[in-house]
Structure 1
C-alpha cells in the first residue's frame, strides 16, 4: 500500500509500505547534463510515486535505454512506526567504478532490525562519473562521481528527518569501489558535520588516482574517439561508442602503465585537495569511528576472471618495483611455505599486497592519530555462487551484509540470484549484521571484551567465521617478512635521499 506523502526539498514523495517497513525508491536527489556538475532536480508539487527503483547509471550491458540525467536517485527504507529519530546508514555501492547500482541492495531487513533508516544511492559510473576532462575545456568535469555522492549526502542530511532518520547520526558505508568513494567523501571539508561514522569494506589499496594519470586516461579516450581537437564534442557521443572507446583504452592502460587503473577518485586539487589517507593520518578525522573490513581471499575472483583482472599484473608489478625481484621471490617462497591446504599462495600474497595490508595501514594511521578504529576479516564461505566455488573472495561479506535472513537477496543489476542460506551462513550473517547495526547506532561494533578497539600494540583483527574470534594482526612469519622488507626499503630510500 502507498505510504503517506513525505515532504522533501524538491517536493512530496510517496513510497510503499509492507511488513512494517516503508520504502521510497528512485527518489531524485539531483540531475546533471553529461560531464557537468549535479544540480538540484526540477521541483514538483504533486506527490511523486517512488515505489519502484529509478534509472541506474549507464554501464556496460545497460547503455541502449540509459537515462543519464535520471540516474541520480536514491532509495530509502525506514520502519513504518518510529518513536524517535533513528540512525542512518548511507551506502555507496561498488562495481570497479563502472557497474552496479543501489537497486542491488534491499535495505528493508536492516531497517527493521536496526531499527535504522537505510539509504542506497546511484551515482555516475565509468567515463560519465570519472573521466577527468576539466583540463580539456570541460571545466566542471572532474570527480563528478564524488560530487554526485556528496550531493546525495547533502540531500539526505537535509531531508532524512522527514523519513524518521537522525541527520546528526549518519554513517557512511561502502564496499569495494564504494569504500574508496566513502573514504574520499569523508575527507571533503564540505562533508564535515554531515556524518559521524565510516564503514568501509574492501577498499582497494590505491583508492586515489593522481591527476596526471587521470589526465592521461582522458587524453587517450579523446584520441581514441578522434576528438583531440574538439573535446567538447564528447558530450554528444553515443553512449555505446563512448564506452567502447573507454574499454579499448582500458586494455592499453593495463599493459602500459604502472597502476593499470582507468577510473577512481582523483587527487585533482579542487574537489579532492588532499590524499585521503593523509587526512586520516593527521588526525583531522580522529573524532570519527572507523570500521575497516576485507575478505580473506579477495583476489580469487579476479584471478578466475577471463582474462584475469588487470590488477593481478599491476599488483605483482608494484610489489616487484618496491622490493625488487629478490624481495618478490622471498615473499612468494614464504607464502608457499606457510600456505593452508586450500590456499593459493600467489593469490594470498596479492590479497595481502592489494587489500589487507593497505587497510591495516589505514587502521594504524587512524589509531596513531587518536581515532577509534576496528579491523575485521571475513573468512566465511557463503553457500552462494560465486563464493560456493571460490571461497570468501571479494564481496562475500557484502552478500551477508544485505541478506534477508534466512535468505540471500537477488542482485538484479549484477544478475545474481539469491537463495536460502545454510545454518552457518545465518550464524555468521547475523553476527555481521548485529555488529554493523550496533556500529551504526553506537559507534562501536561490539562490546570491548568480544572485539577490542584496534591499537598499535596488540593490533586485534576480528575474524567473521565459525566461531567469531580475534587474532593478532602483527604475528606470523608473513607479517614479519613484510615488516623486514619494508624497513629495508625505507632505509634504502633514506640513503638515496641523503
Structure 2
C-alpha cells in the first residue's frame, strides 16, 4: 500500500509499504547537465510518487535511451512505526566506476532487521562522472561523481529525519568502486559532520588518481575523439561514441603505462584537496570508526574475465617495479610453496598486492593516529554464480550482505539472478549482516572478546567463514616476506637519498 506523504526540501514524496517496511524509490536529489556540477532538482508541490527506481546512470548496456540529467536519485527503506530515530546506512555501489546503480540493492531486509534506515544512491559513471576536464576548458568538470555523492549526502543530512532516520548517526559505506568513493568522501571538508562512521568493502589498492594521470587520460580521450582543438564539443558527443573512446584509451594505457586506470576519484586540489590516506594518517578522522573488509580470492574474477582485467598486468608490473624482478620471482615462488590445495598462487599474490595489503595499510594508518579500526576478510564461497565456480572472489561479501535470508536477491542492472541460500550461506550471511548492523548502530561490529580492534602491534583479522574466527594478520609467513622485501626496498631508497 502507499505511504502517507513525507516532506522533503524539494517537495513531498509518497512511497510503498510492505511487511512493515516503507520504501521510497527514485527520489531525485539533484539534476545535472553533462560535465556540469549537479544542482538541486526543480521543486514540486503535489506529492511525488516514488515507488519505482529512477533512471540508471548511463553505462554500457544502458546508453541508447539514457537520460543523463535525471539519473541522480536515491532510494530509502525505513521501518514503519519506529519509536525513535534510527541509524542510517548510506551505501555507494560499486561497478569499476562504470556500471551499477542503487537499484541493485534492495535494503528492505536490512532495514527491518536493524532496525535502520537504508539509503542507496546513483551517481554519474564512466566518462560522465570521472573525466577530469577542469583543466581543459570545462571549469566545473572535476570529480563530478564525488560531487554527486556529496549532494546525496547533503540531501540525506537535511531530510532523513523525516523518514525516521538520525542525521547524526550516518554510516558511509560502499563496495569496490563505491569503497574508493567512501574513502575519498570521508576525508573531504564538505562531508565533515554529516557522517559518524565508515565501512569500505574491497577498496582497490589505488583509491586515488594523480592529477597528472587524470590529465593524461583526458588528453588521450580528446585525441581519440579528435577534439583536441574543440574541447567543448565533448558535451555533445553521442554516449556510445564517448564510452567507446574511453574504453580504447584504457586498453592502451594498460599496455603502455603502469596504470590502466581511466576512472576514479582524482587528486584535483579542489574537490579532493589531499591524498585520502594522508588524512587518515594525520589523525583528522580519529573520531570516525572504520571497518575495512575484503574477500579472500579478490583477483580470481578479474583473471577469469575476457580479456583479463587491466589491473592484472598493472599490478604485476607495479610489484616488479617496487621489488625488482628478483623480488617478484621470490614472492611467486613462495606463494607456490605455501598455496592451499584449492589456491592459485599467482591469483593469491595479486589479491594480496592489489587488495589485502593496501587495506591493511589504511587500517594501520587509522589505528596509529588513534582511530578505531577493524579489518575483515570474507572466506565463504556463496552458492551463487560466479562465486560457486570462482570461490570467495570480488563481491562475495556484498552478495551476502544484501541477501534477504534465506535467499540471495536479484541484481537487475548486473543481470545476475538471485536464488535460495544453503545453510552455510545463511549462517555466514547472518553473521556478516549482524556485524554490519551492530556497526551502523554502535560504531563497533562486535564485542571486543570476539573481534578486537586493529591496533599498532596487535593486528587481528576477522575471518567470515564457518566458523567465524579471528587470526593475527602479522604472523603469517607471507606477511613476513612482504615486510622483508619492503624493508630492503626502503633501506635502498634511503641509501640512494643519503648518497
**Structure 1 runs, 4 residues or longer, greater than 2 Å off:** none
CA distance in 2, matches of 1:477, 1:12: 58
Q: In structure 1, what is the equivalent of residue 214 of structure 2?
A: 214
SS at match of 1:25: strand
Distance 1:38 1:325 in 2: 47
For each residue in 1:53-80, what CA deviation from the matched residue of structure 2 results, as whole angstroms up to 9, or x when unmatched? 0001000111011010110000000001
Structure 1 residue 280, shift from structure 2 partner: 0.2
SS at match of 1:167: strand
CA distances 1:186-229 after superposition (whole Å, capped 9, x unpaired): 00001000000000000000000000100110111111111110
Q: Are 1:427 and 2:404 matched, yes or no?
A: no
SS at match of 1:263: coil
Unmatched 5+ stretches in structure 2: none
> Which residue in the other structure is 1:273 paired with?
273
Q: Which residue of 1 aligns with 2:494?
A: 494
Unaligned stretches of 5+ residues in structure 1: none
1:478 Cα deviation after fit? 0.6
Measure how far apart 1:450 and its partner are.
0.5
Residue number in structure 1 paired with 2:305? 305
How far residue 457 of structure 1 moved from its aligned partner, in angstroms, is 1.8
> 5 Å matches for 1:161-172?
161-172=161-172
Worse-superposed segment, 175-184 or 217-226 = 217-226
Q: CA deviation at 1:458?
A: 2.1
Deviation sequence 1:278-330 (CA, Å, 0-9, x none)? 00000000000000000000000001001110000000000000000000001
Inter-partner Cα distance in structure 2 for 1:89 and 1:305: 31
Match of 1:334 in 2: 334
What TM-score results when the alignment is normalised by the length of structure 2?
0.99
- Deviation for aligned residue 1:246: 1.0
| Alignment partner, residue 112 of structure 1 | 112
How far off is 1:108 after superposition? 0.2
User: 2:226 maps to which residue?
Assistant: 226
Within the alignment, does 1:250 sit opposite 2:250 as a pair? yes
SS at match of 1:485: helix
> In the alignment, what sits opposite 2:48?
48
- 1:362-373 equivalences in 2 (<5 Å): 362-373=362-373
1:173 corresponds in structure 2 to: 173
Q: Once the 2 structures are TM-superposed, how far is the Cα of residue 250 of structure 1 from its aligned partner?
A: 1.1
C-alpha root-mean-square deviation of aligned residues, in Å?
A: 0.5
| Distance of 1:415 and 1:456 partners within structure 2 | 43
CA distance in 2, matches of 1:495, 1:230: 48
SS at match of 2:74: strand
1-side partners of 2:370 and 2:155: how far apart? 30
- How far has the Cα of 1:259 moved from its partner? 1.3
Partner deviation per Cα, 1:319-359 (whole Å, 9 max, x = no partner) = 00000000000100110000000000000000000000000
- For 2:267 and 2:59, how far apart are their aligned partners in 1? 24
Q: Distance in 1 between matches of 2:260 and 2:37?
A: 27
1:44-443 equivalences under 5 Å are 44-443=44-443
What is the distance in 1 between the residues matched to 2:333 and 2:209? Answer: 31
Shift in Å, 1:256: 1.0
- TM norm structure 1: 1.00
Greater alpha carbon shift after TM alignment, 453-462 vs 390-399? 453-462
Match of 1:11 in 2: 11
Partner SS, residue 71 of structure 1? coil
Please state how far the C-alpha of 1:244 moved relative to its aligned partner. Answer: 1.1
Secondary structure at the aligned position of 1:69 is classed as coil
What SS class does the counterpart of residue 253 from structure 1 fall into?
A: helix
Q: Which residue of 1 aligns with 2:24?
A: 24
Counterparts of 1:473 and 1:32 in 2: how far apart (Å)? 45
- How many correspondences in the alignment? 498
Give 3-state SS (helix, strand or coil) of 1:357's partner. helix
Q: Deviations over 1:86-117 (max 9, x none)?
A: 00000000000000000000000000000000
1:149 CA drift (Å): 0.3
Separation in 2, partners of 1:225, 1:312: 27
CA deviations 1:247-284 (Å, max 9, x no partner) are: 11111111111111111000000000000000000000
